[in-house]
Amino acid sequence: MAACLFFIFLVPLAAAGLALMNVGLGRSRSAGHMMMASLCALAVAGLAYFVCGFAWQGFIGGPSHVLAVSGKNWNWIAAEPFFFRKIPFDGSAASLVALFQIFCVGLAALIPLGSGADRWRLRASCLSTGMLAALTYPLFAHWVWGGGWLAQLGVNYGIGRGFLDVGGAGTVQVLGGLTALAVTWILGPRRGKYSADGMAPAIPGHNGVLVLFGCVLALIGWIGLNSAGAILFTGGEPSGAALIAINTMLAASASALTAAFITKIRFGKPDASLTANGWVGGLVASSASCAFVIPAEAVVIGSVAGVAITFSIEWLELQMEVDDPGGAISVHAVGGIWGLLALGMFGQFERPVLNVAGDTLPSTMSGFVSGQWLAQLIGVATLLGFVLPLTYGVNRLLNRFYPFRVSVEGERQGMDLHELGAGAYPEFVTHTDEFLPR
């Protein structure tokens, strides 16, 4: 239990890393606002999860609602009491899951902030975060980590070991990335991003140091995330953390270097922000499979993530006209989906895996499990076919009652002055236009 607690306590560093990256990749006139939004997102997510999120997410073996479909039980939502009641806070599995998840839901809530940078109003982002933590996240997390129907695919239908996601590549990252896509569609691009002549000028981040330091913090947080997830949701032993940490580090390294290499070849010099995005994309891709692959496979997973993320960012920005300042959609959604599929391709189950009934399924002689790729594919289909329409619909509804986008004047002035009344860097003025007479 002590080892698991230690790993869980590292998870907030991942949130700190993402927050710093979001700040650095945005404009200087919105830096304070972004940090404030990150703090508010963590707070709102934690409270919403406390009120009803955990009740609907639950944990393996806990009470839940079941649908009987052609003789098989489909566990679709947990039935825990609200407000964390009846959780024995004595080191029980339920208490550890609740602690881990309250950090994870905050991490998922930070992802869309990077996409809505420089134009997403603070209160609107809090409302959206509340819905993510109270509805979208608990529902999908129950299906994967709470013994829900996706985890039951192996037991009920013999499809591999059921959908597996060790450190939240789908539950946290893809869910957050798809929410980021929905928010970006609703908000539209920043003013000046796409001109009528078809040009899409780059709007560079204002502080590369924050971005790269955020990457280092994220690594520590991700090691905690992946290790704690492996112990809590797959029955892993703390001694397996060394392999998990190595795989996490290797995937991030391979992905970052691949991104740096590609940008060097294409633009003549390595691009710092794309390299940073590659680093986090490697961390994201490692999350699903870190406990079930060997280090060489982690390098392959990271390298492919680096290629996919670098080209995906450019394709979304230039071809699909999706203005995502933090690159969150590519890093978290694309990287996460690749990570989930990679588990189906490379995963070896040489140790027993915790199943939905709380028992452990024995390991196989060869390590490979037939049908695991299909289970992973069904999980990806659920993310695209259920989570994306749900999160888009919820955010669109919220936008109808409380518009997400800041006014034209606010966007021109900067979110710091417009929404908070003070800039993040009062000692120097980097954008003089807001003080010019009109």
Partner 1 sequence: MKVVGFLMLPAGWFLALAAIVLFAAPPLRAAFVLAGIAVEALGLILAFRAHLIPREEKR
Residues that bind partner 1 (CB under 8 A): 69-70, 72, 153, 157, 159, 185, 188-189, 191-192, 194-196, 320-322, 370-371, 374, 377-378, 380-382, 384-386, 388-389, 392-393
- Amino acid identity, position 87: I
276 or 313: CB nearest partner 1: 313
313 or 322: CB nearest partner 1: 322
81 or 393: CB nearest partner 1: 393
Strand partners, 360: 354
Alpha-carbon span 395 to 179, nearest angstrom: 9
Tokens of 394: 């919820």
- Amino acid identity, position 382: T
195 or 239: CB nearest partner 1: 195
Tokens of 138: 């608990």
Alpha-carbon span 130 to 146, nearest angstrom: 20
Q: Shortest distance, CB of residue 13 to partner 1, whole angstroms?
A: 33
Q: Shortest distance, CB of residue 369 to partner 1, whole angstroms?
A: 13
152 or 226: CB nearest partner 1: 152
Tokens of 379: 């999980």
Q: Are strands 72-78 and 64-69 parallel, antiparallel or unpaired?
A: antiparallel
385 or 403: CB nearest partner 1: 385
DSSP-derived 3-state class of residue 405: strand
Q: Shortest distance, CB of residue 330 to partner 1, whole angstroms?
A: 13
Alpha-carbon span 169 to 42, nearest angstrom: 19
Q: Shortest distance, CB of residue 322 to partner 1, whole angstroms?
A: 7
Alpha-carbon span 368 to 390, nearest angstrom: 34
Q: Shortest distance, CB of residue 410 to partner 1, whole angstroms?
A: 16
392 or 425: CB nearest partner 1: 392
Residue 266 CB neighbour total at 10 angstroms: 13
Angle between helices 2-25 and 272-289 (to 10 degrees): 150
Q: Shortest distance, CB of residue 159 to partner 1, whole angstroms?
A: 7
Q: Shortest distance, CB of residue 140 to partner 1, whole angstroms?
A: 12
381 or 429: CB nearest partner 1: 381
What phi, psi does 77 have (nearest 5°)?
-155, 145
208 or 371: CB nearest partner 1: 371
- Determine the straight-line distance between the first and last CA of the chain, rounded to whole angstroms: 63
Phi-psi region of 367 (alpha: psi -120 to 50; beta: other; left: phi over 0): left
Angle between helices 93-115 and 2-25 (to 10 degrees): 10
Q: Shortest distance, CB of residue 137 to partner 1, whole angstroms?
A: 18
Q: Are strands 360-361 and 353-354 parallel, antiparallel or unpaired?
A: antiparallel
Q: Shortest distance, CB of residue 374 to partner 1, whole angstroms?
A: 6
Strand partners, 64: 78
